[in-house]
Chains A and B, each alone.
Chain A
């Protein structure tokens, strides 16, 4: 055997992701990233060095065996690859699209030390889409344990927890407050980043596994957690109600007409399909110039949505610099390509309105970066006398969300943190026996995959609890 054959050839760059043209896509709601075809997926998987240490695995919150599925794709064993992924990840079509891989698995990739890392997320998405196209075979379900678990909230943590528990033979009923399951995957993340058909296909798979989903059910109102346990015979409960309480800046003018929370702006668009008004009944109003306050993924989604709703200009107004933007790198890149503008080191201090109460502009103040703060990021410091006016027609407030208080407030014996999140230990157990919690309701607003990791942990803990009960 020659030396060359032993040593794997290094391909320094990722296979490019086919995408809609930026100017075209900025005016439609179709998916931006089109996905690898078979050849690109195989070629990308073949870039993996199959190194011994497998460092990528420590970067995955749900512990997918990444080198194994990449090897399988490289060998064109797509069936085997998706099985490997699904062994740990119940929602691969979603994760392949919205995980911040650059700060997770791909950040540990050996190839990435000198070159671009393997595009693990894109290959994962390929595998999931390949399976969705061909028709999904539900995983094996263990014999019924006759135990019943209520899962509150059908976002990423709830769906993952439900899938894992169903596999172990428990009866699972998921309660969702809105009229469709999926939580933030349906109301928050836009169609152009995560098509709703993909989310619903994953949810259909869950139903095939025997999971019941009750939509239109507001737990904390229609029934409390205590009633689910005491009156409806549930043996355990998982709370995954997310970060559903929008924060506002508490500056003058914030209740003016034309000021939306990002939650409202995105829910009208994604869940209620306001972009199809008047064929669909829910309206949304977007003027020529939209200012989005904040720098996270929700802010990027809002700014890009504003363009698609007809805004001529869409601005991100963020008080730190570009380096500190908490959004996923790819989302920032996509936003820039589509023409989103950035007013960095800037924050509004007042929103102006006309005589009818409609937004006309904002008074902004400039910031500069000082010493690092507790989060390790340099603290923005207001520059005295730097106030200036910005003319705008709409404001979208995307500065974060807190825990929705409906369930915490109505559940007896559930300890909360100072911020109102549910206190849960590393096993996802709360202070109330048989009640577990995970996702944003515990951690505060984070990512889809972190919530899924928490759902997985909770499912394991609940299983153990039920077996020993």
Chain B
């Protein structure tokens, strides 16, 4: 059992939990993920580590309520427990002094890009952070990101905060202004369409781009192969070979299709969950 020590709600559907998990906190590195299961009947879902504190033995996760499990996770409060919390899983981000790195976080992807930006800055990089969300309400961790980036740019799709536009608009402006040779690599994390579009832009500029993929997983240790994806024509497992890959090599079409395998079941689970909740809830 793993205890929830802190909770923050950025919006009704975007939440942060700080969870006591000393073994995970001791070893985890930027770019890795955990798998959690709320209760005995629960499913195992992967979430990328947003922050960690080795002294306190805590892991921070940020999630958007998109399915039954994340909705249920959102109802938990400080003092509650999740039954299982496994990690750190996946390969850590490759960190070295590249020079200048652009770290892009879109939507809930702002959270996982945070420790990567921090590690890159600590390694001596000039880190240009770009964070964006659909609107002001969904934006979070602006201060946290400003702290770990050398410079931070903020954008909202609808212009409700700072400026109107996508993260790729900001990226284009920066590259056009400073030249492609001024950027050594790009890290882009967010919803699949955002990463795909970003890769399209960076490919034109010839900028190496690393993405962190979200795939359906069960065990998270390379045993089931559910999270397989074609990268450069080769089948890779997101859980053990990733989650980070060269974004220009990823078969986005296949990834998108495989991520939607259980879409109708997910809807069914959400409907069932909502109908139970309205009656006072036995959960």
Considering the complex, give the chain B residue whose CB is closest to the CB of A261: B225
Q: Count chain A CB atoms within 10 A of each CB in B23, B89, B219, B257 and give the residue with the most.
A: B219
> Which B240-273 residues sit within 8 Å CB-CB of chain A?
240, 253-254, 257-258, 260-262, 265-266, 268-269, 272
* B265-A223 in contact (CB<8A): no
* B84-A179 in contact (CB<8A): yes
* A272-B44 in contact (CB<8A): yes
> Which B144-159 residues sit within 8 Å CB-CB of chain A?
none
* B223-A244 in contact (CB<8A): yes
User: In the assembled complex, which residues on chain A have CB atoms less than 8 Å from the CB atom of B30?
Assistant: none
Interface of B, helix, strand, loop or mixed by DSSP: mixed
User: In the assembled complex, which residues on chain A have CB atoms less than 8 Å from the CB atom of B37?
Assistant: 179
| B: number of interface residues (CB 8 Å) | 43
Query: Measured between alpha carbons, how far is A245 from B219 in the docked complex, in Å?
Result: 11
From A250, A260, A282, B43 is in contact (CB under 8 Å) with A282
Query: Measured between alpha carbons, how far is A282 from B67 in the docked complex, in Å?
Result: 12
Known A179-B86, A283-B266: A257·B261 in contact at CB below 8 Å: yes
Known A257-B258, A278-B272: A246·B224 in contact at CB below 8 Å: yes
User: In the assembled complex, which residues on chain B have CB atoms less than 8 Å from the CB atom of A278?
Assistant: 265, 268-269, 272
Considering the complex, give the chain B residue whose CB is closest to the CB of A356: B257
Query: Measured between alpha carbons, how far is A80 from B69 in the docked complex, in Å?
Result: 50
> Which B7-25 residues sit within 8 Å CB-CB of chain A?
23-24
Considering the complex, give the chain A residue whose CB is closest to the CB of B261: A257
Q: Count chain B CB atoms within 10 A of each CB in A216, A278, A356, A405 and give the residue with the most.
A: A216
Query: Measured between alpha carbons, how far is A258 from B257 in the docked complex, in Å?
Result: 11
Nearest chain A CB to B76's CB is how many angstroms away?
15
Query: Measured between alpha carbons, how far is A177 from B224 in the docked complex, in Å?
Result: 13
Query: Measured between alpha carbons, how far is A246 from B228 in the docked complex, in Å?
Result: 11
Asked if A215 is an interface residue, CB under 8 A from chain B, the answer is: yes
From B221, B230, B258, B269, A283 is in contact (CB under 8 Å) with B269
Asked if B85 is an interface residue, CB under 8 A from chain A, the answer is: yes
From A221, A255, A276, A356, B87 is in contact (CB under 8 Å) with A221
Query: Measured between alpha carbons, how far is A216 from B84 in the docked complex, in Å?
Result: 7
Query: Measured between alpha carbons, how far is A283 from B262 in the docked complex, in Å?
Result: 7
* A272-B86 in contact (CB<8A): no
Nearest chain B CB to A382's CB is how many angstroms away?
24
Interface residues of A toward B: which range?
35 or more
Nearest chain A CB to B139's CB is how many angstroms away?
30
Query: Measured between alpha carbons, how far is A362 from B254 in the docked complex, in Å?
Result: 19
User: In the assembled complex, which residues on chain B have CB atoms less than 8 Å from the CB atom of A178?
Assistant: 219
From B42, B219, B254, B266, A177 is in contact (CB under 8 Å) with B219
Q: Count chain B CB atoms within 10 A of each CB in A178, A179, A221, A263 and give the residue with the most.
A: A221
Asked if B229 is an interface residue, CB under 8 A from chain A, the answer is: yes
* A404-B223 in contact (CB<8A): yes
Query: Measured between alpha carbons, how far is A218 from B224 in the docked complex, in Å?
Result: 15
Known A179-B84, A281-B42, A281-B269: A255·B221 in contact at CB below 8 Å: no
User: In the assembled complex, which residues on chain B have CB atoms less than 8 Å from the CB atom of A406?
Assistant: 221-222, 240
* A222-B23 in contact (CB<8A): yes
Considering the complex, give the chain A residue whose CB is closest to the CB of B228: A255
Asked if A285 is an interface residue, CB under 8 A from chain B, the answer is: yes
Asked if A279 is an interface residue, CB under 8 A from chain B, the answer is: yes
User: In the assembled complex, which residues on chain B have CB atoms less than 8 Å from the CB atom of A267?
Assistant: 218-219, 223-224
* A244-B222 in contact (CB<8A): yes
> Which A361-413 residues sit within 8 Å CB-CB of chain B?
404-406
> Which B58-90 residues sit within 8 Å CB-CB of chain A?
68-69, 83-89
Nearest chain A CB to B153's CB is how many angstroms away?
34
**Contact digits for A421-439, partner B, Cβ 8 Å, 1 yes 0 no:** 0000000000000000000
Asked if A31 is an interface residue, CB under 8 A from chain B, the answer is: no
Considering the complex, give the chain A residue whose CB is closest to the CB of B42: A281
Report which B residues bind A (CB closer than 8 A): 23-24, 26-27, 37, 41-44, 68-69, 83-89, 218-219, 221-226, 228-230, 235, 240, 253-254, 257-258, 260-262, 265-266, 268-269, 272
**24 contacts across the A-B interface (CB closer than 8 A):** A178-B219, A187-B219, A187-B223, A216-B86, A218-B86, A218-B87, A245-B222, A255-B254, A257-B258, A260-B226, A261-B226, A264-B218, A264-B225, A264-B226, A276-B41, A278-B265, A278-B269, A280-B43, A281-B69, A357-B254, A357-B257, A404-B223, A405-B222, A406-B222
